[in-house]
């Protein structure tokens, strides 16, 4: 009796189990699962196949084109980074299928990774940071909590997921302990003013529904604050501050920390460790953005227009002298 052909969805189930067994974070597994389930639905709805061995390179390229044509919540095409993420997940999945002898040939080997354009990273100015902090009412529980969160994000550059995962015992007098991607732990220095904010929040304003709760930041219901909760409170602060020319999000604080660290003379390799990057190339994107800003800083002084203005000014003076 012939063995039933392995379906794409069943192979995806096996791949997700593999990710769980390797200790991938819940968020990473969720990210993989969402993209692979979307691919599975596309193959059935648009290509009329559910069998793993039926997938070809042409199918994968058609899928990438379909992703590129998708619209985001803002009605714009999805970003290059989103498309690259889908390709990365697809290639990883099919590579695993070959390693597990589910396929003899990997159809994704020649699937091209889309090129990502180089853009200047968006950051807050000092005035924008002050405007955000000034929206917090330091007399209230939520106001002081929000102020402390923004100070900690600015001072350490941690990811929002790392912030939400901070426990009381992770706060020390001159550093915080952070559990990052891949369950890699690191220590990040923290300014004494920020530590004072955390201390006051914990001892005066932090109110939990469970006295044994160890997570640092708590929502209005007394439960641990979530990533979406942090994003929402920062977005609301941006609205109150009237900020419209910059993306107001937790990750912009991370970008701002990185650029200011470099501006103040910090080393890119130390910055890479502080940010928890596994690849220095990721950190170097901040360096490129910083160098771009520095290159334009003295533009007025160095611009060739200065020479042109001098010539025009001299000619004007000589012309005026004829009429004196």
Query: What residues are labeled active site?
Result: 159, 181, 251, 254, 277, 286
Look at residues 274, 223, 208, 241 and name the one whose alpha carbon lies nearest to residue 124: 241
Pick left, alpha or beta for residue 183 (phi over 0 → left; psi -120 to 50 → alpha; otherwise beta): left
153 contacts 233 by C-beta, under 8 angstroms: no
Burial 82-110 (b: 16+ CB within 10 A, else e): ebbbbbebbbebbebbeeeebbeebbbee
C-beta separation of 43 from 50 below 8 A? yes
| Separation of alpha carbons 219 and 253, rounded Å | 20
| Residue 317 structure tokens | 């003076």
Q: CB–CB of 271/262 below 8 Å?
A: yes
Tell me the Ramachandran region of residue 182: left when phi exceeds 0, alpha when psi lies from -120 to 50, beta otherwise: left
């Amino acid at each position: 009796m012939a063995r039933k052909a392995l379906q794409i969805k069943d192979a995806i189930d096996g791949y997700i189990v593999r990710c769980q067994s390797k200790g991938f974070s819940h968020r990473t597994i969720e990210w993989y699962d969402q993209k692979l389930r979307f691919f599975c639905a596309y193959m059935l709805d648009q290509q009329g196949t559910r069998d793993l061995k039926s997938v070809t390179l042409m199918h994968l390229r058609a899928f990438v084109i379909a992703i590129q044509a998708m619209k985001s919540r803002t009605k714009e095409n999805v970003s290059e980074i989103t498309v690259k993420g889908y390709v990365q997940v697809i290639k990883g999945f099919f590579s695993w299928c070959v390693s597990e002898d589910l396929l003899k040939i990997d159809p994704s080997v020649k699937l091209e990774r889309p090129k990502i354009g180089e853009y200047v990273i968006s950051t807050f100015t000092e005035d924008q940071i002050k405007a955000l902090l000034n929206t917090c009412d330091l007399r209230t529980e939520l106001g002081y909590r929000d102020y402390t969160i923004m100070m900690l994000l600015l001072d350490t550059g941690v990811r929002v997921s790392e912030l939400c995962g901070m426990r009381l015992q992770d706060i020390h007098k001159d550093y915080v302990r952070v559990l990052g991607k891949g369950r890699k732990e690191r220590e990040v220095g923290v300014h004494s003013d920020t530590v004072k904010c955390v201390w006051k929040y914990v001892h005066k304003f932090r109110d939990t529904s469970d006295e044994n709760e160890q997570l640092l930041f708590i929502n209005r219901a007394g439960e641990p604050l979530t990533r979406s909760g942090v994003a929402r409170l920062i977005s609301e602060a941006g609205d109150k501050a009237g900020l419209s020319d910059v993306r107001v999000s937790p990750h912009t604080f991370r970008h701002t920390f990185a650029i200011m660290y470099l501006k103040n003379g910090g080393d890119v390799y130390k910055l890479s460790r502080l940010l928890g990057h596994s690849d220095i190339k990721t950190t170097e994107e901040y360096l490129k953005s910083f160098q771009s800003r520095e290159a334009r800083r003295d533009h007025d002084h160095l611009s060739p227009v200065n020479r042109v203005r001098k010539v025009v000014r001299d000619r004007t003076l000589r012309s005026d002298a004829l009429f004196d």
